[in-house]
Amino acid sequence: MKSLISCAITGAIHTPSLSPYLPVTADEIAEQSIDAAKAGAAIIHLHARQPENGKPTNDPEIFREFLSKINAKSDAILNISTGVALGMTLDERLAAVKEFQPELCSLNMGSINFNVARAAKADIVWKYDWEKEYLAKSEDIVFRNTFKDINYIIKTVTEFGTKFEYECYDVGHLYNLAHFAERGVIKPPFFIQFIFGVMGGIGADEESFNFMKQTADRLFGNNYIFSVLGAGKHQFPMCELSLKSGGNVRVGLEDNLYLEKGLLAKSNAEQVGKVEQMAIDLGRKIASADEAREMLGLKGKENTKITLS
């Protein structure tokens, strides 16, 4: 099967002072998304930031600016986060997806600790006053995704025909997903993102990868397609394990700011180019956006509420 590349452009984990290349404004997010798609990403996973200081926001008006720009210049599948940022309410988290009814959105499959407080200790000059505290307080926040929350997101979003990138940070999350599958409230194929190396989730190593894959095989058989995301320095090694096992990959500055040890990635497209070359070297072909739509059973970009600018 062809390999599907997702690129998560900016996220809500990293803050602007950690890398000058992290896109913040709508123009920067649009430009980096378009370039990542040109470099080979079929799926663009999106969060928004306040243009004046890079703080995560889920304001649909900010999304509107970059979504329509990306849509006008690329046929990539646009995937909007419902995890959004630590500390937001469920309704805040759903605002952009409700407004734009994209082809894909994320769905986080369990509550976890999501500790990125170590980044607050970086020996750097902080550009904005919110950054250090935002990172530090993640040590004491639960990223809440109860069964009731998950059910609410499924109910809301399924009405628009939007499908999910199921974010699974640990083996138990696969069982949570199986529970909703058994209830029949979600339908295959399930596009599962195995997430490794978040502090609070499963580790980033081959044994953990095998455990996730074997568990998913047992629970979902042929009804799922998996992709792998490794946090920080684990990004490319975990992508390689996935590609070698016939899986798919997610890269992007949301998950890792570097291209290699000590070298910041200058753009999302650089990371896409690197993982694409890795896939080709391993004998894999890359899926186009339309091939990805076919694989995941998506409704098509003409059936979203994202306009062209």
Residue 65 CB, nearest approach to ligand KMH (Å)? 19
Which lies closer to ligand KMH via its Cβ, residue 93 or residue 284? 93
Residue type (1 letter), 154? I
Measure the CA–CA gap between 120 and 122, rounded to whole angstroms: 6
Q: What, of Zn ion, ligand KMH, none, does residue 99 touch, CB below 5 to 8 Å by kind? A: none
Site string for ligand KMH, 111-150 (x = CB under 6 A): ----------------------------------------
**Residue type for 104, please?**
L
Of the two residues 164 and 220, which places its CB atom closer to ligand KMH in the complex?
Answer: 164
Q: Does 106 interact with ligand KMH (rule: CB under 6 A)?
A: yes
From 77-85, 121-129, 134-142, 153-161, give the range in contact with ligand KMH by CB under 6 A: 77-85
For residues 96 and 159, the answer to whether their CB atoms sit within 8 Å is: no
Judged by beta carbon, residue 9 or residue 286, the one nearer ligand KMH is 9
Please choose, out of 29-37, 76-84, 208-216, 278-286, the segment that lies near ligand KMH by the rule CB under 6 A. 76-84
Where do the H-state alpha helices sit in the chain? 26-39, 60-73, 90-100, 131-136, 147-158, 171-183, 206-220, 235-244, 268-281, 289-296
Selected from 67, 77, 135, 195, the binder of ligand KMH by CB under 6 A is: 195
d(CA 213, CA 218): 9
x/- string (CB under 6 A) for ligand KMH, residues 247-286? -------xx-------------------------------
Strands 163-168, 190-196: pairing is parallel
Residue of 3, 17, 71, 81 that binds Zn ion (CB under 5 A):
81
DSSP string, 18-61: G-TTS--SHHHHHHHHHHHHHHT-SEEEE-EE-TTT--EE--HH
Provide, rounded to whole angstroms, the least separation between the CB of residue 83 and ligand KMH.
2
Task: Please answer whether residues 12 and 56 qualify as being in contact, where contact means their C-beta atoms are separated by less than 8 angstroms.
Answer: yes
Q: Which candidate, 109, 111, 303, places its Cα nearest to that of 200?
A: 111
Chain residues 2-41 in contact with Zn ion, contact rule CB under 5 A = 11
Residues 296/42, Cβ–Cβ less than 8 Å: no
Pick between residue 236 and residue 284 the one whose CB is nearest to ligand KMH.
236
Site for ligand KMH, residues 8 to 47, rule: CB under 6 A: 8, 11, 13
Closest by CA to 58, choosing from 68, 49, 66, is 49
Q: Residue 53 CB, nearest distance to ligand KMH (Å)?
A: 20
Binding site for ligand KMH (CB under 6 A): 8, 11, 13, 81-83, 106, 108, 167, 195, 198, 254-255
Binding site for Zn ion (CB under 5 A): 11, 81
